[in-house]
Structure 1
Amino acid sequence: MATIQMLSADEARRAIPALSSLMEDGIEDNASMGFMAPYDAEAVQAFWQDVASNVAAGTTLLAVAVSDGEIVGTVQAALAQKPNQPHRADVMKLIVLRRHRGQGIARNLMEALDAVCLSHNRWLLVLDTATGSDAEAIYPRLGWQKAGVVPDYALYPDGGYCPTTFFYKRLKDGSASS
């Protein structure tokens, strides 16, 4: 069973090789995560370095799933920084190693992230994912609402166009009295 941990900036920096391996596994699986094939190790490491810097700045929350001492999954939330969005976070990069899928790791990561977002008073979460992907099927089961689909929004790593589905989730009522 994997355990979920929130990483500090220093822990995130130390985890860059493992986080990069997660991304490589996803790119090899043709997951649309912002990177193209072939795998560009330097670009992916720079991405995770930026994430660690954002964790240090307090603008990103980074969770990992650890099984037998190995990071086997991750997810992050970027806390909206605009003055009119103090209640919102963007969930990104839910990744589980292919060989560890089907074990509830994605669910556990997302539930842990929900709790941490709430502790930061971020109760409206948004995300996007490749339409038709295995990931798209996960979110409704976790209480996410589909907002819509944008055709040709991004590219898959192999260069094909990728339609993208947008979701949102309210963790609590957002009325002014909350």
Structure 2
Amino acid sequence: MWREAAAVALTLAASPALAKGLEITIAGEANGTVTIDLLEDVAPLHVARITELAAEGAYDGVVFHRVIDGFMAQTGDVQYGKSGGDVQFAGRGGSDKPDLPAEFSDVPYDRGIVGMARSQNPNSANSQFFIMFDEGYFLNGQYTVVGRVTDGMDVVDAIKRGTGPNGMVIGAADYMQTVTVTE
């Protein structure tokens, strides 16, 4: 594990300077733009990953595959979550980059906080992330916080809710039309 973390740290250290945020244009039932302030001082490895994938266009067209009313909207599966394709495995994939070591902090999971999704392994975050609809303090110290919504929370609130098992969206899901890194 330490070798993977060291490789990730070296790769990210060679990356360009960290961005300040993301601008996400959402399409589907929800239509509009969401602005996210990325917290590079809280989770530098995770912020670098998100900005790297966004700059590559990897997030463009990716669906919100798991959306639970009163909890959160999850997206970012760049492997299985592309809109217009077969998204039945959305939520099970990631990017071709190595998983990241956890960067837990004391930032609470308030409404509008953006966190990294992962499996049961705390060091398995890769590309997927979620946006909180409401407080979720049971996540505090368990999932890496990467940012917070600063504008467009009304658009987040309008994202199509899931009705399937574990909040999976059935039918046409809302998606991130474009994800742009902001300076």
Q: TM-score, normalising length from structure 2?
A: 0.29
Query: Relative contact order: is structure 1 or structure 2 higher (C-alpha 8 Å, sep ≥ 6)?
Result: 2
Q: Which has the higher helix share?
A: 1
Q: Which has the higher strand share?
A: 1
Q: TM-score, normalising length from structure 1?
A: 0.30
Give the number of the structure whose alpha-carbon radius of gyration is greater.
1
